[in-house]
A = this chain, B = another copy of it.
Amino acid sequence: MSQGWRYGDAMAARVTLQTIADRVGVSRMTVSNAFSKPDQLSVPLRQRILAAAQELGYVGPDPAARALAKGTTGAVGVVFTHSLRFAFTDLVATGFLGAIAEELAPTGLSLTLLTSSDDGDIVPARDVAMDGALVYSCDWTSRAVDFLHRRRLPLVYVDQDPVDDIPSVNVDDRSGARAAARHVLDLGHRRIGLLLSGTHGPYGLLDDPGVVDGHSSRQRLLGWLDEFGPAGVEVMSARQDGTGLEQARWGARLLLDRPDRPTAVLCFSDAVAYGVLQVAAELGIEVPRQLSVVGFDDNPLATQVRPTLTTVRQDIAAKGRAAAATLTATIARAKAGTSAPAEHVLLPTELVVRESSGPVNPQ
């Protein structure tokens, strides 16, 4: 266990490669090699050097210095628009990050979480050292993302409008949303509510889907409209101002607490759908007899609530793995100086029918 180090002598002269070199009587470079390129020197000498290092309390090359000299830090960033709290609260986000962490582990890369905040003294996207970054579901007007680009960092976009030069990983939100829409149409629903989440923006979103921010939100909405437009059904929408449960409930109430309420509600996410189920229960509306509810994501929540949620599955773990793999590949390519056309991964979605949806008005 821990010994050889002590506290209270914080002011002790720092031990560097040179300290050890002097002690052993070799050049600084040889000591460096003893740590970083073991095959570049004889075994006995290396032993002596390592022993001296141990004795002097030297742990290994200073990471910051090494980062500067090698141009490599051993860490990659993940950038969110949302506050980081979200990264640990939302089940979809945690699933995603967990998969990334798992995929990254064998590479030895560490994961640094960044917000896209750019007020304040330190702007992480500009001031934190990293080898590359995942841009996850970010507001694309964000200055933080712009910093990342200008730093010429290897980037991968996830749940983000693809850009030609930047590798991206997305799920086929639009097809998934279409499948959900067809599902309720097939069940006979003709008065349909749509419930999005987002951080801000006007409400008449059906007039201009482009105004919805967030790539996924936009694509899912477009998918719904792909089907509903031609079918000529009556569509009503609400949009809550935030991603919390409270916001979802607020939106749900807007949609359900009225005489001409929809017979089916499509939700941007399972988390939102959960809010709808709660509100429906409170209003005494039976699901699925009087109301069909369809979520999105196939969040673990979807099978925990009653009735279980009909939803559109995306393989969030696969998304995380793909994102991590693409990023490491992009970093490797940048390091090697080779350039290849950016890869754009599109993962499939799949409608999962459970208990929360059913035919309209059954006797």
A272: min CB distance to chain B, Å: 18
Q: Which A94-147 residues have C-beta < 8 A from chain B?
A: 94-95, 97-99, 101-102, 105-106, 108-115, 117, 120-124, 126-130, 140-141, 145-147
Stretch in A65-73, A233-241, A275-283, A350-358 touching the partner: A65-73
Question: When the two chains form their complex, are residues A114 and B120 in contact, meaning their CB atoms are under 8 A apart?
Answer: no
Stretch in A39-47, A56-64, A208-216, A254-262 touching the partner: A56-64
A288: min CB distance to chain B, Å: 22
Question: When the two chains form their complex, are residues B111 and A74 in contact, meaning their CB atoms are under 8 A apart?
Answer: no
Question: When the two chains form their complex, are residues B120 and A106 in contact, meaning their CB atoms are under 8 A apart?
Answer: yes
A37: min CB distance to chain B, Å: 12
Stretch in A79-87, A168-176, A190-198, A223-231 touching the partner: A79-87
Q: Is A337 an interface residue (CB 8 A)?
A: yes
Partner of A1, one of B59, B123, B140, B165: B140
Interface flags for A150-166 (1: CB within 8 Å of B; 0: not) read: 11100000000000010
Stretch in A4-12, A19-27, A177-185 touching the partner: A4-12
CB contacts (< 8 Å) of A102 on chain B: these are: 83-85
A235: min CB distance to chain B, Å: 31
Q: How many copies does the complex hold?
A: 2
Partner of A84, one of B57, B101, B151: B101
Partner of A146, one of B2, B110, B112: B2
Question: When the two chains form their complex, are residues B64 and A334 in contact, meaning their CB atoms are under 8 A apart?
Answer: no
CA distance A345 to B64 in the complex (A): 31
CB contacts (< 8 Å) of A145 on chain B: these are: 2
CA distance A165 to B2 in the complex (A): 13
Q: Is A203 an interface residue (CB 8 A)?
A: no
CB contacts (< 8 Å) of A126 on chain B: these are: 59-60, 63
Given contacts A105-B115, A147-B59, contact A129 B67 (CB under 8 A): yes
**23 A-B residue pairings within 8 Å (CB atoms):** A5-B150, A5-B152, A10-B152, A60-B127, A63-B130, A64-B67, A64-B129, A65-B68, A67-B67, A74-B124, A75-B112, A75-B129, A83-B101, A84-B101, A84-B105, A85-B101, A87-B101, A88-B95, A108-B120, A108-B121, A110-B114, A111-B112, A111-B113
The 6 A-B pairs with the shortest beta carbon distances in the complex, nearest first, are A108-B122, A84-B101, A88-B98, A63-B129, A64-B67, A88-B94
Binding site for B on A (CB under 8 A): 1-2, 4-5, 7-8, 10-11, 57, 59-60, 62-68, 71, 73-75, 77, 83-85, 87-89, 94-95, 97-99, 101-102, 105-106, 108-115, 117, 120-124, 126-130, 140-141, 145-147, 149-152, 165, 304, 334, 337, 339
